[in-house]
Structure 1
């Protein structure tokens, strides 16, 4: 299983918190769209395309003693973030309805909670895997 240093994962989470909160406070759809592009780039091209991780690697050279996280979890979380940001961006460009900021806020909250130690996406991932396993083995 591919692993990624937790420091890089936290850099990504910090970027999400900063950009999504900034977009909410400034009520700026372009920041939401930019955040979506950054998240989508890392989904399409992998962690090497993640801007936050690239910046973190400039400042931190040695990750050998860092704990790691499965890349599949990062990808799952990025998929959720990209989906929520895509919904928010679409709503903002189509109607400008306030509900879009709720979707953006969900990304902010999830990333902030992850920074403090509980990964909502990881919890969801394991629950889905557990249910999938149960369904396959109960037949």
Structure 2
């Protein structure tokens, strides 16, 4: 699967917003761990194992084959960033129980919320990384 319908990508973003917001509101490290587990499963087994995408496919009644698509590589890159931030947050929550962990969870919440509104922070970072890599390889 090299491209994913936008509806399914938005379902993934919505899941991230809901789970990370709930974890912040409830101050629940367990919800952070659950969110990280959902992302980790998707990173290991691919988009077909993404629980939000699976649920959205079951719920959605429209034909997704005609819908605009988004790159699976970008989804994976964005989820890798989210997984990294949530991993740091979970480590801080488990080891020192410091409030700063919620900043990392909040970063995921904000990025997913902004993505739902139309601007993909991870996509911007991906483009900058590719541009930087291209400059280095062309020298």
- Please report the TM-score for the alignment, with normalisation by the length of structure 2: 0.97
In the alignment, is residue 22 of structure 1 matched against residue 43 of structure 2?
Answer: no
Within 2, Cα distance between the matches of 1:59 and 1:18? 17
Q: CA deviation at 1:136?
A: 1.3
Structure 1 match to 2:125: 124
Structure 2 match to 1:72: 73
Q: CA deviation at 1:48?
A: 1.0
Unaligned stretches of 5+ in structure 2? none
Q: CA deviation at 1:97?
A: 0.2
Alignment partner of 1:69: what SS?
strand
Structure 2 match to 1:48: 48
The superposition leaves residues 5-61 of structure 1 with CA deviations (integer Å, 9 ceiling, x where unpaired) of 111100000000000000000001000000000000000000111110010001114
Which 4+ runs in 1 deviate beyond 2 A? none
Alignment of 1:1-139 (within 5 A): 2-61=2-61, 62-137=63-138, 139=139
Q: Would you say how many aligned residue pairs link Structure 1 and Structure 2?
A: 138
| Of 18-27 and 63-72, the range deviating more from structure 2 | 63-72
The superposition leaves residues 78-125 of structure 1 with CA deviations (integer Å, 9 ceiling, x where unpaired) of 000000001001110101100000000000000000000000000000
Unaligned stretches of 5+ in structure 1? none
